[in-house]
Amino acid sequence: MTSRRRWARNALVGALVLVAGWGTAGWLVVGAPDAVAAESTLRTLAAARGLRIGSAVNAVPLRQEKGYRDKLRYEFNGVTPENAMKWSQVEPVPGQYAWDDADAIVDFAEQSGQMVRGHPLVWHSALPEWLTSGSFTDEQLRAILKQHIEDMTTRYAGRVGAWDVVNEAFNEDGTLRPSIWLDRLGSGYIADAFRWARAADPAAKLYINDFNAEWTNPKSDALYALVRDLRAQGVPVDGVGFQTHVTTNSALSQLKATLARFAGLGIDVAVTELDVRMPLPADDTKLTTQATVYRRAIDACLAVARCVSLTVWGFTDAHSWVPGAVPGWGAADLLDESLQPKPAYTSVHDGLAARDFTGTAVAVQSGRCLDVPNSTATGGVQLQQYGCNSTGAQRFVYNRVGTKTYTITNAQNALCVTVANGSTGNGAAVLQSPCAGLAQQKFELYKVVGSDQDYKLAATHSGKCLRVQDDSTADFARIEQWPCQTDPAAPSKQVWRLTAAPGHP
Measured from the CB atom, the residue of 119 and 142 that comes closer to ligand G3I is 119
Using the contact rule CB under 6 A, the part of the chain among 81-89, 92-100, 388-396, 443-451 near ligand G3I is 81-89
Question: Of the two residues 87 and 398, which places its CB atom closer to ligand G3I in the complex?
Answer: 87
- How far is Cα of residue 78 from the mean position of the Cα atoms in its chain? 12
What is the distance of C-alpha 433 from the center of its chain? 36
Residues 323-362 close enough to bind ligand G3I by CB under 6 A: 325
126 binds ligand G3I (CB under 6 A): yes
Q: Which is nearer to ligand G3I, 86 or 286 (CB)?
A: 86
Residue 246: phi and psi, rounded to 5, are -130, 180
Distance in Å, CB of 87 to ligand G3I, minimum? 10
Q: Which residues from 470-499 bind ligand G3I, rule CB under 6 A?
A: none
**Apex 445 CA angle, 467 and 469, nearest 5:** 5
Stretch touching ligand G3I by CB under 6 A, among 82-90, 290-298, 424-432, 449-457: 82-90
DSSP state of 293: H
Residues in the chain: 505
Interaction mask 428-457, ligand G3I, x per CB under 6 A: ------------------------------
Phi then psi for 232, rounded to 5 degrees?
A: -65, -30
Count CB-CB contacts under 10 A for residue 412.
Answer: 15
Q: Measured between alpha carbons, how far is 504 from 313 in angstroms, rounded to an integer?
A: 22
Write the interaction track for ligand G3I spanning residues 283-322; mark x where CB under 6 A is met and - where it is not.
--------------------------------------x-
Half-sphere exposure of 488 (CA within 13 A, CB side): 2
What is the per-residue DSSP string for 211-237?
SS-SSSSHHHHHHHHHHHHHHHTT---
Residues 240-259 that bind ligand G3I (CB under 6 A): 243
Count of residues near ligand G3I by CB under 6 A = 9
Stretch that binds ligand G3I, among 79-87, 140-148, 448-456, 481-489 (CB under 6 A): 79-87
Phi–psi pair at 28, nearest 5 degrees: -130, 125
Beta-carbon count within 10 A of 325 CB: 11
Q: Residue 94's closest CA among 44, 139, 136, 138?
A: 136
Q: Which of 10, 40, 55, 83 binds ligand G3I (CB under 6 A)?
A: 83
In the complex, the smallest distance separating the C-beta of residue 391 from ligand G3I, rounded to whole angstroms, is 47
User: 459: which strand partners?
Assistant: 443
Q: Which of 192, 238, 273, 299 binds ligand G3I (CB under 6 A)?
A: 273
Q: For 477, which DSSP code?
A: P
| Segment 39 to 58, residues that bind ligand G3I, using CB under 6 A | none
Q: Least distance (Å) from ligand G3I to the CB of residue 339?
A: 19
Residue type, 204: A
Q: Which of 75, 82, 101, 480 binds ligand G3I (CB under 6 A)?
A: 82
283 touches 247 (CB < 8 A):
no
Q: Of 320 and 432, which CB lies nearer to ligand G3I in the complex structure?
A: 320
Q: Please list the active-site residues.
A: 168, 273
Helix (H, G, I), strand (E, B) or coil at 356: coil
Comparison of 170 and 321: residue with beta carbon closer to ligand G3I: 321
Instruction: State which residue, 243 or 407, has the beta carbon closest to ligand G3I.
Output: 243
Comparing CB distances to ligand G3I, the nearer of 317 and 371 is 317
27 phi, psi to nearest 5 deg: -105, 160
What is the DSSP-derived secondary structure letter of residue 420? G
Q: What is the DSSP letter of 284?
A: H
Under rule CB under 6 A, residue 91 binds ligand G3I: no
What is the contact surface with ligand G3I in residues (CB under 6 A)?
Answer: 82-83, 86, 125-126, 243, 273, 321, 325
